Chain A
Amino acid sequence: MIINHPLLGPRDSAEFIYMGDAGLINRPDPETASGEEWYAYAYLRDNPAGEHRELWWHEGGDRSWLVVTRNTVTHEISKVEIARDVARAQGRSK
């Protein structure tokens, strides 16, 4: 698979480490979250067959975190974003 890195252009997916569902960006607030929320965050996954937003870490490159939208049935990649931009768009400060 080729991941079209927003900054570096097309890169071999072997340069990246797969880090799971992009929902992991939304870590529960440690001050207020319940045990149930932590359980769901740490262990439960949607695991869809089809379009999946997921985190890839460019370990063998610029060490950026990306949010890749990829089809788990065809492996086709339709969108690549910088994870920081996604998090900020969701209201995170950093």
Chain B
Amino acid sequence: MRYSGFKVIKEALTGHRGWTPAWRDPEPQSHYDIVIIGGGGHGLATAHYLSKVYDEKRVAVLEKGWIGGGNVGRNTTIIRSNYLLDGNEPFYEMSLKLWEGLEQDLNYNAMISQRGIMNLIHSDAQRDAFVRRGNAMMLNGADAEYLNEDQIRKEYPFLNFDDARFPIKGGLAQRRGGTVRHDAVAWGFARSADSHGVDIIQNCEVQGFRIEGGVCKGVETSRGFVGAGKVGCAVAGNSGRLMAMAGMRLPIESHVLQAFVSEGLKPVLPGVITFGAGHFYVSQSDKGGLVFGGDLDGYNSYAQRGNLPVVEDVCEGGMAIMPMIGRARMLRMWGGIMDMSMDGSPIIDRTHIDGLYFNGGWCYGGFKATPASGYAFAHLLAKDEPHETATAYRIDRFRTGHMIDEKGMGNQPNLH
């Protein structure tokens, strides 16, 4: 069924009795050409591009719970492509371009809103760094714009410009950045993949890999063995647990990142603001809540909830840059589990086991990457070679010294 404005009106006039489920609920078959583990944003995007672009017809997505119940429903919904390094920027710019055409591609309203993102600048050194980043973005075909203090005052008059510690001296804007309704991304990819023949199998937990002679033959699940020509893992947050079943140790630690939403307010915040120096960023959802977050808690965790010191730190950051936030009450807070890699960049690669492919290490930048991650992983699975924008995301780069370390922090995952 195609969705359209006409269809909505027709259904409104006929009591909404014509809507059908957006995807099937099939039983797992005994064998697929490609099995994707993880029904989150990246796994479902991979299935969509595998079936639609790469014409793979026997594909399944295995999800231990329900689709979209993990990090794709726990992030702060921001999209952008403001990276510095050559290994990253073309990939994220491809992702932003895919976002721009996603709703037409999926025939699904993901409420993609290119309201712009602004990184605030407080010092000469930070200005130099951000101008350099903006130039790198433009060299890769992305948009970037340096704004001085007066220009920011016009757009965001309520910010604390004259703070003694972090006075606002300018900003790096990316006008094409913005926000998306994150649940709709999971549902839209799932619906499209399903319509192209992909089996989306929920409540099906992978409990082991069947590996014979260095070749992955399939996965043992809570619903029996599922054979596969190729197995792609896209379970960021739980990558360490999953790949341990294949005997692999990863260059990844799992960390908890918290996010927050205020009560609903009238529109006050036109775009996304990041206050990196103060560990705070914020946007306003279409429902009116201020959606904000800050740093990792900083210790290994699989708990999907954090602790109070970081709540205090994030709220202090908000009060420092945007004092009017103090009038709003906090409505909800939650945590998500991040694959924090050793250089802050992701991995999309084959493993040393034939037929086993890995997608993970997204740190806290996975949501914006969803379409490109799915596209590049689908390319890798279908063609057995990396997509041209993802050639740097090799799993062995830590062994060979080809790290992609945007912040230059080294192998300290909680600092990326």
Question: Looking at chain A, what size class is its interface with the partner chain?
Answer: 20 to 34
| Total of A-B residue pairs, C-beta within 8 Å | 70
Q: Which of A12, A13, A74, A75 gathers the greatest number of chain B CB atoms within 10 Å?
A: A75
Given A39-B398, A46-B240, A52-B300, the answer on whether A14 and B249 have CB atoms closer than 8 Å is no
Q: Does A40 contact B (CB under 8 A)?
A: yes
Residue numbers in B under 8 Å from A72 (CB-CB): 254, 300-303
Q: Do the beta carbons of B307 and A46 come within 8 Å of each other?
A: no
Residues of chain A from 16 to 66 with CB closer than 8 A to chain B in the complex = 17-18, 20-21, 36, 39-40, 42-49, 52, 54
* Contact residue among A12, A40, A43, A74 (Cβ-Cβ distance under 8 Å from B309): A12
Identify whether the interface residues of B are mostly helix, strand, loop, or mixed.
mixed
A and B contact pairs by CB, cutoff 8 A, 14 listed:
A13-B299, A18-B298, A20-B253, A21-B253, A21-B300, A45-B249, A45-B251, A47-B250, A47-B254, A49-B238, A49-B254, A54-B299, A72-B254, A72-B301
Residues of A within 8 A of B404 (CB): none
Contacts of A21 in B (CB 8 A): 253, 300
Whether A1 sits at the interface, judged by CB under 8 Å, is yes
**Closest 4 interchain pairs by CB?**
A47-B240, A14-B309, A43-B398, A44-B249
Report whether A75 and B249 are in contact in the complex, using a CB–CB cutoff of 8 Å.
Answer: no
Q: Does A7 contact B (CB under 8 A)?
A: no
In the assembled complex, the CB of A69 is this many whole angstroms from the nearest CB of chain B, namely 12
Q: Are B253 and A47 in contact (CB under 8 A)?
A: yes
A45 to B301, CA, bound (A): 13
**Cβ–Cβ contact A40 & B307, under 8 A:** no
B249 and A40 form a contact (CB under 8 A): yes
In the assembled complex, A8 has its CB within 8 A of some CB on chain B:
no
Q: A39-B399, A40-B249, A47-B240 are in contact. Are A20 and B412 (CB under 8 A)?
A: yes
Q: Is B241 among interface residues, defined by CB-CB distance under 8 A?
A: yes
Question: How extensive is the interface on chain B, given as a class?
Answer: 20 to 34
For residue A10, give the distance in angstroms from its CB to the closest CB of chain B.
Answer: 15
Quote the shortest CB–CB distance from A49 to chain B (angstroms). 4
Q: Would A45 and B250 be within 8 Å (CB), given that A39-B398, A72-B303, A73-B303 are in contact?
A: yes
Contacts of B302 in A (CB 8 A): 49, 72-73
Report B's interface with A, CB cutoff 8 A.
238, 240-241, 244, 249-254, 298-303, 307, 309, 342, 398-399, 411-414
Q: Are A46 and B249 in contact (CB under 8 A)?
A: yes
Q: Complex formed: what's the CA distance from A17 to B309 in Å?
A: 13
Contact B252 A45 (CB under 8 A): yes
Q: How far is the CB of B297 from chain A (nearest CB, A)?
A: 9
